[in-house]
Amino acid sequence: MLKEVQHKSHFMGSFPCGTDLLEGLTGICEKENITLGRVEAIGAVQKACFGYYNQKSREYQFTEKNFEMEILKCSGNISLNDGKPMVHAHIILADEKGTAFGGHLAKGTVVFACEFIIQSFGGAEFIREFDDSTSLRLWK
């Protein structure tokens, strides 16, 4: 599927130490009524939780890292799921040696310092619905 979208506005900000990254991003979308857009963030986290979607079992496997890391890149999109804005983001993190890893951003990723940009789009609606071929909630 493909739809043209129009740029509406940009938001730039930072999260205080201790913010859950996914909840923080989702909270801004709810507060500012952003239902379509893109998001990116950099900074550092105190700990992280990210997912890997097992295509055979069709379940997310979550990895927790309970140490301090850099956010090399976190990027994703915003669309509607069950009538609410949902942030779907992936994150690449690095440990103190610069070794990188990451996955599907999950609740439990706690900010040490984080600067983000959210771009809001209009002109189209992207709604997530269950997809039989993947068992994921994808855009229809």
Looking at the DSSP bridge assignments, the partners of residue 54 are: 59
Q: Is 104 in the site for Zn ion (CB under 5 A)?
A: yes
Q: Which stretch binds Zn ion (CB under 5 A): 19-27, 60-68, 92-100, 103-111?
A: 103-111
State the CB neighbour count (10 A cutoff) for residue 83: 7
Please identify, using beta-carbon distances, which residue of 66 and 134 lies nearer to Zn ion. 134
Residue 62 CB-density burial (10 A; 0-12 exposed, 13-18 middle, 19+ buried)? middle
Give the tokens for residue 61: 């496997």
Closest distance to Zn ion from the beta carbon of 85 (Å): 16
Q: Which amino acid is at 116?
A: F
Instruction: Please give the size of the binding site for Zn ion, defined by CB under 5 A.
Output: 1
Residue 99: helix, strand or coil by DSSP? coil
Shortest CB 16 distance to Zn ion, Å: 26
31: Cβ–Cβ under 8 A, 6 or more apart, which residues?
none
In the bound state with Zn ion, the residue whose beta carbon lies nearer, of 23 and 68, is: 23
Segment interacting with Zn ion, rule: CB under 5 A, options 6-14, 19-27, 98-106, 119-127: 98-106
Q: Which residues bind Zn ion (CB under 5 A)?
A: 104
